[in-house]
Amino acid sequence: MKSDVVKVGFEKAPHKSLFKALGVLDEELERPLIGVVNSYNELIPGHMNLDKIAAAVKAGVRIAGGTPFEFGTIGVCDGISMNHMGMKYSLGSRELIADAAEIMAVAHGLDGLVFIPNCDKVVPGMLMAAARLNLPAIFISGGPMLAGIVNGRRVGLTQVFEAVGSVAGGTIEESALEEYIERACPTCGSCAGMFTANSMNCLTEALGMGLPGNGTIPAVYSERIRLAKQAGMKIVDLIKQNIRPADIITAAAFHNVICADMAIGCSTNSVLHLLAIAHEAGVDIDLNSFNQLSASVPQLCKLSPAGDHFVEDLYHAGGVQAILNELSKKGLINGDCLTVTGKTVAENIKSRSVLNHNVIRTMDDPYSPNGGLAILFGNLAPEGAVVKRGAVAPEMMRHSGPARVYNSEEEASRAIWSRKIKPGDVIVIRYEGPRGGPGMREMLTPTSSIAGMNLDKEVALITDGRFSGATRGASIGHVSPEAAAGGTIALVEEGDLIKIDIPNYSLELLVDEQTLQKRRDNWREPEPNIKKGYMSRYAERVQSASTGAILR
């Protein structure tokens, strides 16, 4: 076993003495030593129950004959860090999470790992670590939050942000926000819509690294505690069978994941994270992979913010396994892929039928014949840009309009709240990319303000930053190269015409090349926004969003 490096041989007497100081018995040391990687903290609602999940995991490990050791990672609540300096630190936390898990596992000679994530950067950070370490590993998330109810309508965090926009637009009174504050987030768990956390937890299941139900069983259901015990038991089996992430996280598995991504209509952030995970796994995918599958994979779900269903509805409709089963009917799923169940995808999904066709449409009656995400290319985004096509109104699928240019999220938000944005405008927010931000902030405040002011069917937004999965409308992010790297988005001037053609995967700045070259010659890279600490080092090493914002 891997843990022999800390417990076998007379020269390991000091090591064993330190285990004794922990209260560990000889009998426990003889078993597989399993790290329980828990992102629990008291700041994130999605992590509020992870102490209970960890306790259940450790019980399962002991039942199966292993010895668990729990340790923590950091985590950032994207909702709480939204629209201020804190959001610059969110994406960068992904790398620290991966590094922390790597350090703890290698330093202590662990045999296997159970990862317990539940929010936006924690899930991909842990998946990156699992792929990098290639120790037997399994994931058990904390589960999704239940939807809240305001004025008889089911709501989630999206509706709170949009209500702020409605206040700014004068369509509701500020006092109406109190009901949203009290009711919109009624339980622990990752926010109730198909935002980034739930997207990544569902895709972890589709990848084969989480047990069936990992992505959709609500956080407050006792079924999730039982699943956590099963995950603890299963890691011991994976160690005995020597099943490792490299056996599961394959090119064929990524095919399945991208198909699931398109069918569910996941967050645009999923593109960023899947590229980074594939890089760690040594699997070759790029942005073209998403468009190729998007052309052939229909969108089967419309979950909030794209529609009125929430993740709890997806759970009751059969969950991720039912979606994979439906996709398999048209030969879109590689059924031979191995999963952490020890079985193949085909074996897992065989009896998982769709239970509610209003939530999960059939292949013959999809919401859209194309996937929920699209990658746009053109002179404004030579390396690509990402849009959540499934959440765009039909009238905005093709749009041309004058650029309204802002060099930060704050500038743009002030303009929106001051009602300076008019129907037909294309808002451009730049210098918010991985390097320029730094940290590629999410733009939920401006996008939800536009929606709350009922402009989402008339106004587009383009940025080298990114969007929360809670964003809807013609919101195009991840524009690459970013402004701080001298990308075309840095050259856009007020009033320039921008043409968006989502069906044809196109994003064009309608300015001739000679004029752009003159602007390019006069462009100068701005001073860094953060000049010390972790994010200053991050800015020096981070690469384009088109790579997944991986580090050099």
Active-site residue list: 468
Residue 448 is predicted with a pLDDT of 86
Using the structure block, give the residue that is written with the tokens 């089911």.
154
* Mean pLDDT value across residues 71-98: 96
Instruction: Give the model confidence (pLDDT) of 206-237 as tens digits.
Output: 999 999 999 999 999 999 999 999 999 999 99
- Contacts of 33 by beta carbon, 8 Å cutoff, 6+ apart: 1, 3, 6, 7, 66, 67, 69, 108, 109, 110, 111
Give the global pTM: 0.96
Predicted confidence (pLDDT) at residue 453 exceeds the cutoff of 90: no
Instruction: Give the model confidence (pLDDT) of 317-360 as tens digits.
Output: 999 999 999 999 999 999 999 999 999 999 999 999 999 999 99
Percentage of residues of the chain with pLDDT beyond 90: 93
Task: Compute the distance between CA of residue 144 and CA of residue 313 in angstroms, rounded to an integer.
Answer: 11
pLDDT band at 471 (very low <50, low <70, confident <90, very high): confident
Residue 86 is predicted with a pLDDT of 95
pLDDT band at 171 (very low <50, low <70, confident <90, very high): confident
Residue 469 is predicted with a pLDDT of 74
- Kindly list the distances between the CA atom of residue 115 and the CA atoms of 102, 130, 185, 269, 513, in Å, as whole numbers in the listed order: 12, 9, 25, 20, 50
Predicted confidence (pLDDT) at residue 470 exceeds the cutoff of 80: no
- Contacts of 477 by beta carbon, 8 Å cutoff, 6+ apart: 268, 385, 386, 387, 443, 462, 463, 464, 465, 466, 467
Predicted confidence (pLDDT) at residue 454 exceeds the cutoff of 90: no
Alpha helices in 391-441 (DSSP H): 409-417
Who wins on pLDDT, 391 or 316? 316
Residue 473 is predicted with a pLDDT of 86
* Mean pLDDT value across residues 91-109: 98
* Mean pLDDT value across residues 275-279: 98
Torsion on CA atoms 417, 420, 426, 429, rounded to nearest 10:
-60
pLDDT band at 110 (very low <50, low <70, confident <90, very high): very high
